[in-house]
């Protein structure tokens, strides 16, 4: 388990899959990720089976948060992880998804991003962590900026979303920048 302030990351279990299906079938949640259609539990079970074949460092992790800092109760709210790790360049893409909407806008996304970066730069000795985000996802952009990410590029009209084209922003943080922020 990877622990941070009121957030922790653990391995995804098969019992988590129904929550993923519920979240990923919510159109509001799908707006922020690259999933265009609803999914079935069978598809999610297939994803989980494939997940177990990936290198451990590239398996997404379940996000648990502590809603009340005075209570030792934890809520499963989403997933995050590093993928497409380039060990030669010491670079990886990062992804995050918080499916429990009642915990949006409470700073948990920023905390998770900081925790994953700490793991990436400290434990995995990476130099660069980057991500893609739709320009329409202002909530996520604010969380990424608070976690130290800066915009470095833009795929103009790179995604067709809700009947229109939107830009896809590329954001990153380098180890020296992240260390200065901490």
DSSP of the chain: -EE-SSEEEEE--GGGHHHHHHHHT-HHHHTTTT--S---HHHHHHHHHHHTTS-GGGS-EEEEE-SSTTS---EEEEEEEEEEEETTTTEEEEEEEE--GGGTTSSHHHHHHHHHHHIIIIIS--SEEEEEEETT-HHHHHHHHHTT-EEEEEEEEEEEETTEEEEEEEEEEEHHHHHHH-
**pLDDT score at 36:** 74
**pLDDT score at 181:** 63
* Domain that residue 67 falls in: 2-181
**pLDDT score at 35:** 75
**pLDDT score at 33:** 78
In the chain, the number of structural domains is 1
pLDDT tens, N- to C-terminus, the chain (182 residues):
899 999 999 999 999 999 999 998 888 887 777 777 888 999 999 999 998 899 888 999 999 999 888 888 999 999 999 999 999 999 999 999 999 999 999 999 999 999 999 999 999 999 999 999 999 999 999 999 999 999 999 999 999 887 899 999 999 999 999 875 65
**pLDDT score at 113:** 95
- What is the CATH classification number for the domain harbouring 139? 3.40.630.30
């Amino acid at each position: 388990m990877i622990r941070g302030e009121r957030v922790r990351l653990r391995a995804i279990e098969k019992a988590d899959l129904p929550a993923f299906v519920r979240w990923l079938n919510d159109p509001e949640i799908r707006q922020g990720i690259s999933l265009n259609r609803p999914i079935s539990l069978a598809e999610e079970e297939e994803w989980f089976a494939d997940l177990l074949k990936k290198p451990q460092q590239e398996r997404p992790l379940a996000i648990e948060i502590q809603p009340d800092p005075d209570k030792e109760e934890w809520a499963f709210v989403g997933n995050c992880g590093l993928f497409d790790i380039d060990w030669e360049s010491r670079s990886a893409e990062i992804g995050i998804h918080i499916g429990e909407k009642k915990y949006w806008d409470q700073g948990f996304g920023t905390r998770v991003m900081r925790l994953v970066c700490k793991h990436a730069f400290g434990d995995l000795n990476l130099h660069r962590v980057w991500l893609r985000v739709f320009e329409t996802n202002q909530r996520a952009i604010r969380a990424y900026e608070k976690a130290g990410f800066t915009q470095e590029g833009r795929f103009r009209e790179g995604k067709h979303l809700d009947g229109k084209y939107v830009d896809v922003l590329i954001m990153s943080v380098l180890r020296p920048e992240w260390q200065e922020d901490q």
